[in-house]
Amino acid sequence: MPASARAIGMNALVLAACLAAWTVVLQPTSRLLWPMLCGGTVDATVQATLLLNPPVFILGAWAAMVVAMMSPVLLATARRRVVEASLAEVALFLTAYGAGWMVAGAGLFAVALLAASAKLSPAGALMLGMAAVGLWQASPARQQCLNLCHRIGARRATAGTTGGAFAAGSAYAAGCVGATWPLMLAALAAPDWHLAAMLIATAWMVSDRLEPPSRPTWRWRWPGRGAWRAMARA
């Protein structure tokens, strides 16, 4: 299959997965939209949350949230690796990437529940999350994570290296989690503004991925600058 046709097909597949995930997230009657993800009480306890929402639904809600938000990010930085790899390598890369986010979800969910047990108001939880976002946005550690995503996404996939594809997916997940965990946590811990926070965080993350790699230093990186540069180059 020609590279251009494969690229179009892969882009369409990723976008279809993104739209399907947003459809699940937006369903008001879906059991996947458990209270901690959308409109729940901020003082919910761990026991009540687990009793009202079996683990399979919590995992499903988190998976839908990750697919909805991270599919555009994959298109922004990992397109070359995905397009040039075999189907087996793509499957392994995405499996490792998804597994990394599922593991990260356990940690983020625990932090969100700790914030809930602190009986913060929705506005207080959102402000705390945005403070974490602002501090991490300026940190050199976050830029190192972004640089890792750029290196892996731009690297050519080598035919037949299925083990390498899994390792690359795991490393790419580590970079993505490291670069975006405060945004995901803010979206998770803001029940009254959950969907709006998801949309803002997704646009923010895509814009960050459009920025070129840079030297890790302490400096504020304005969200949206990458999108403006990409439009200027178009």
Which of 1-5, 110-114, 120-124, 223-227 has the highest mean predicted lDDT (pLDDT)?
110-114
pLDDT of 218 > 70? The answer is yes
Which of 58-62, 66-70, 78-82, 119-123 has the highest mean predicted lDDT (pLDDT)?
66-70
Q: Mean pLDDT throughout 173-187?
A: 91
Residue pLDDT, tens place only, 74-110: 887 776 666 667 778 888 989 999 999 999 999 988 8
Residue pLDDT, tens place only, 10-51: 778 888 999 999 988 887 645 444 444 444 444 444 555 566
**What's the token pair of residue 135?**
């501090």
CB-based contacts of 23, cutoff 8 Å, min separation 6: none
